[in-house]
Amino acid sequence: MCKLQCATVFMRLLLTPSLVLAADRDVQIRSIHFDPGLIELFNYGETDEPLDGWVLCSHDENEAFVYTNPMSFIGVTIEAGSSLFIHFNNDAPVGDPDRINRSVLGPFATPLDALGAYSLSLYVNTIFTDGANIADHLQWSLDGLDNAMADKRSDEAVAGGLWTNESVWIMTGSETRIVTLLDETGRILHGPSDYLALDALANPIPLVIASGPVHIKLEPVATGLTAPNWGISAPGVANTLFVTDQPGILWRIDLSDGSKSVFLDVSSQLVPLGIFGPDSFDERGLLGVAFHPDYQSNGYLYTYTSEPVSGAADFSTMPPLTLADHQAVITRWAVPVPTDPFSVVDPGSEFEILRIDEPQFNHNAGALSFGPDGQLYIALGDGGGADDHDGQPFIGGPLIGHGDGNGKNPETILGSVIRIDVNGKNSANGKYGIPPKNPFTTPGDSRLDEIFAYGLRNPFRFSFDAVTGQLWLADVGQNDIEEINLVTSGGNYGWNQKEGTFAFETNGQASGFVTSESVPGILVEPIAQYDHDEGIAIVGGFVSRGTRVEPLFGRYVFGDFAKTFSNDGRLFHLTQANEIREFNLVGQSALDLSLLGFGQDAAGEIYVMANATGTPFGTTGVVLRMTTKSGDINADGVTGVLDLLRLLSDWNKLGGASDIDQDGIVNVFDLLILLANWG
């Protein structure tokens, strides 16, 4: 810190609009761009060397401080016909006594909306000599009219709220500079029609999710887990579900009796869970598993884990000399005798394939799955925090590692679905291959070879339809919209330019929001979406291909973590027209648990993963099978005449929804069960 001996401060904004401002509308300038070759800043008092950016100074009780680069200039709002408002702060964390978060407000003599073309100049002049004779002067030059504002130290100015008791100065060189106004996409703003203030939508989707006609029963399969979040089958392994438990256990669950055993334990490799300590929320952990298509011969499986930073990452968005919160690690493991139902993972078979820096604790995504093409697909979140841009206050300090958005930048790996060939070796680290059909592999293309699709925020769960091969992905939203996407090669799904089908405003250091504005560019729209009146975090599932709930065949099943973060998860499905419907639950009015994930067995049946805490702690985790009331073949909630007629029409057929006892044939035993549950 140093004392200022003398400084003259001023800034000029030149606006040349061609249209008149609409009355009572705000003009929102997203950012101000200065050519560093034209702006010369000096750190007076310590050195006279030019700085490459802004210097922000605060004066309090005759003590002056200098805060050097970088600082963030939040923006300028011009209220039509009233005033100019400048808001800025430095990089000191919230609560730090060195933090500056000040505003300068001054009146206009001529209403802006009375002018056609105009120029606006703002001069902030400060004279400071040895902590005395302070005179601040704010002068407006509006279309040739100059209007001086009262001295900062005058009682009238302070009482009028024009100044705080501390002064703020932005220091530039001694000449007027013309600057260019840009929006957050880098587009030059030519006039007020380009940057009228955007209004946040209070209720983006007024339509309420209705209950559908399907009635399901949740049948407990396994209990005593912690935070189960994903369940899949392994090639060639019958009647078994492999379930990832967030604290680091991969369970093997026998679907015939619900017994479970540890198949792999990676808990010692994870970061300590609980972002605020034990029993608190976290999004890190063991987040995904996938079995190699040739598992029966090679015994390979792959996991996604959140591990402490250990050495250089294969991919990183972190600024120099900064440390990531953790690293996402993709690991290959081997089972010695995959044909033996009692064989487990050999812990010594660990082979690290990929290590990625994660700037913050959240938005990790974590799903991985082999596609119909035999390649491994991996979902990666935008790096965490909120709104996917640097500078916003967050746990531990302002966000870093995002720039102006990882999701929309295909030159960074975060915020994407990547596709790799686990049998190849032509990647930069030599541990996997790049599929030649990946969309950005043309020589000279700066976009990452690994990326299959991008523009994603937190694609926590995705899955492939076992019949069509389509990739269904649920992307967790920010503050307003949850969405479902059908993902295709090279697609840009819009984050952080949009959330769902709505334009997204990152809103500086405040919380972002959606608007009704149009979004430029070729961005893929979701096939379904809902807003935060209905839930707060979508949990992706599977396209049902089982027979236990016949009306769900070919329908995508998903849900929401919790409507209010109070163990009030919800279960949904899409109709043929991709409308969202909520399930009717037999024997219960609500799930009354936090929804953590879904599972699908080899027969295409769906399972619900949940617990009673919403955290990776405790033993309340359960695996629940989606089925129907006994005898309710058409899943309408009643066992009656329609079900009886259906069973009789299926008599002696092999399997199907009418095979109530699941013994492989429709016969008298199924009829007896139906009659016993009549009504």
Q: How far apart are CA 17 and CA 147, in angstroms?
A: 22
**Residue 165 neighbours by CB under 8 Å, 6+ apart:** 60, 158
Tokens of 206: 């007024």
Which long-range contacts link 95-98 to residues 24+ away (Cβ below 8 Å)? 98/65, 98/67
pTM of the model: 0.74
- The C-alpha atoms of residue 152 and residue 187 are separated, in whole angstroms, by 36
Distance of alpha carbon 613 from alpha carbon 617, whole angstroms: 8
Q: Which two tokens stand for residue 533?
A: 């009146």
3-state secondary structure 134-149: EEEEEEEEECCEEEEC
Q: Looking only at Cα atoms, what is the longest distance across the chain?
A: 101
End-to-end Cα separation, the chain, in angstroms: 80
Q: Phi, psi at residue 302, to the nearest 5°? A: -135, 140
The number of beta carbons lying within 10 Å of the beta carbon of residue 274 is 15
| 234: amino acid identity, one letter | A
| Confidence (pLDDT) at 502 | 96
Q: What pLDDT, on the 0 to 100 scale, is given for residue 392? A: 84
Helices 668-676 and 641-649 meet at what angle, rounded to 10?
Answer: 180
Q: Which amino acid is at 40?
A: E
- Tell me the three-class secondary structure of 47-80, residue by residue: CCCEECCCCEEEEECCEEEEECCCCEEEEEEEEC
Tokens at 608, concatenated: 């619900």
Side chain identity at residue 433, one-letter code: G
pLDDT at 512: 87
| Positions of the chain with pLDDT under 50 | 1-94, 97-198
Rg for the chain, CA atoms, rounded: 30
Tens digits of residue pLDDT in 480-498: 999 999 999 999 999 999 9
Q: Look at residue 120 in the predicted model and tell me its pLDDT.
A: 30
Tally Cβ neighbours within 10 Å of residue 178. Answer: 12
DSSP state of 673: H
Contact by Cβ (8 Å): 171, 57: yes
Q: pLDDT tens digit string along 166-222?
A: 222 222 223 222 333 333 444 443 333 332 334 678 899 999 999 999 999 999 999
**pLDDT reported for residue 102:** 33
Instruction: Enumerate long-range contacts of 186-191, CB under 8 Å, 24 or more apart.
Output: 187/520, 189/29, 189/30, 190/16, 190/17, 190/18, 191/15, 191/16, 191/17, 191/18, 191/19
| Spatial separation of the C-alpha atoms in residues 673 and 679, rounded to whole Å | 12
Distance CA 19, CA 193 (A): 7
- Residue 570 DSSP one-character state: E
Give Cα 426 to chain centroid, integer Å.
30
Q: Scan for tokens 């399930």, then name that residue.
A: 583
Q: Is residue 448 a contact partner of residue 442, using CB atoms and an 8 Å limit?
A: no
Work out the angle at residue 111's Cα, subtended by the Cα atoms of residues 110 and 116, and round it to the nearest 5 degrees: 95
Cβ count within 10 A of residue 101: 13
Q: Starting at the earlier edge strand, list the strands of the sheet with 120-129.
A: 120-129, 132-142, 145-148
In the prediction, which pLDDT does 38 show?
Answer: 23
* Pair of tokens at residue 367: 């799903």
Residue 274's SS3 state is coil
